Amino acid sequence: MSWAIIADSSCNLRSWTPTAPDTSFITVPLTIHVGGEEFVDDAQLDVAELNRKVAAEKEASSSSCPSAGTWADALRDADDIIVITISANLSGTYESAITARNIVLDEYTREHAGVIKGKNVHVVNSRAAGGKLELMVELLDRYLAQGARTFDDAVSYIEHIEERSSVLFSLSSFENLVKNGRMPRLAGSFASKFNIRMLGTASNEGTIKIVGPTRGEKKTIRKTVEHMASSGFHGGLVYIDHVDNEQGACALRDAIVEQWPSATVRIVPCGGLCSYYAEESGLIVGYEWA
């Protein structure tokens, strides 16, 4: 029996390898459209070049989700598959993956004389982006590595993790989020006008919810740690994604470890999609509070 953990490219793991036996990890890329050019958000993307093109482009740019056919190609090989997607309220990626799941299971049933046993696909709406997906991927891998698991066990586990984890966004620019309808225009305009960072989180529906403005790195870090504590974090796995802001990510990591010495903090550069929306110096923090 083979397993696959599959995420879209809002998960910023690119060269990551699972520790669980007979388990693969696959990233399905979204696409960013800038000035008539298409940038596929895969491991070959030059993220710095994408960011330069986005900054220089005066016309509106956008992103698009993977097609159902692209998803289906990723779903055909393994026996048991868990798919983790960006929030269904931020992208059509989740619905595209559900369509692909139905296509692949129908194919399998026809090829095996009406018997579906032996092929399982579950699609999880993360209600987030970035660090929360990375956290979910790693924790699922740890779970599978502990020993024999049924598919239903894995589904119950990953749904539990999705419900008991969260994401924070610390951003200094909001232009692309506002232009693409991912953030209220009033909040984005306020933050840009006064040149302040804005701390946001994911709502229960998987949309971006504003926590509040912050001024200066120290206040941003303090407010981030305070929000993590108030939402139930007491030490565990944390992912910090950054857009050309490793220094800020390291400072936040140090503050988290000082507050919770048992925390494990991983720092990851953003890929194309998260860089596009988080913009210059943005941070995305995924953490568990189970």
First to last CA, the chain: 29
- Residue-level pLDDT at 192: 55
Q: Token digits for 170? A: 């610390």
d(CA 170, CA 200): 6
Say whether 66 sits in a helix, a strand or coil. coil
Are 83 and 121 in contact by the 8 Å Cβ rule? The answer is yes
Residue 137 scores a pLDDT above 90: yes
Q: Quick one: average pLDDT of 134-149?
A: 95
d(CA 96, CA 160): 23
Residue 56 falls inside a structural domain = no
Residue 125 falls inside a structural domain = yes
Q: Are residues 95 and 23 in the same domain?
A: yes
Give the end of a domain, one of 163, 179, 205.
163
Of residues 177 and 194, more confidence is placed in 177
Q: Are residues 82 and 136 in the same domain?
A: yes
- Per residue in 182-236, pLDDT (tens digit) is 665 555 555 555 567 788 888 888 887 878 878 778 899 999 999 999 999 999 9
d(CA 213, CA 200): 9
Q: Are residues 196 and 141 in the same domain?
A: no
Domain containing residue 114: 3-30+65-163
Residue 47 falls inside a structural domain = no
CATH of the domain at 148: 3.40.50.10440
- Whole-Å CA distances, 43 to 15, 29, 61, 116, 237: 8, 9, 21, 33, 24
Domain total in the chain = 2
Q: How does DSSP assign 225-241, residue by residue? A: HHHHHHTT--S-EEEEE
Are 124 and 82 in contact by the 8 Å Cβ rule? The answer is yes
Q: Are residues 122 and 227 in the same domain?
A: no
Are 83 and 102 in contact by the 8 Å Cβ rule? The answer is no
- Per residue in 74-112, pLDDT (tens digit) is 999 899 999 999 999 999 999 999 999 999 999 988 887
Residue 40 falls inside a structural domain = no
Q: Are residues 132 and 244 in the same domain?
A: no
Which residue's entry shows tokens 């990626």? 93
Lowest mean pLDDT among 7-16, 151-160, 185-194: 185-194
Q: pTM (2 decimals)?
A: 0.92
Residues 6+ apart with CB under 8 A from 216: none
Residues 6+ apart with CB under 8 A from 99: 68, 71
Q: What is the dihedral of CA 95, 99, 105, 107, to 10 degrees?
A: -160
Q: Are residues 20 and 157 in the same domain?
A: yes
d(CA 119, CA 76): 9
Q: Are residues 169 and 202 in the same domain?
A: yes
d(CA 272, CA 243): 10
Q: Report the percent of the chain where pLDDT is more than 90.
A: 69
CATH of the domain at 215: 3.30.1180.10
d(CA 261, CA 284): 21
Question: What's the chain's Rg over C-alpha atoms?
Answer: 19
Residue 31 scores a pLDDT above 90: yes
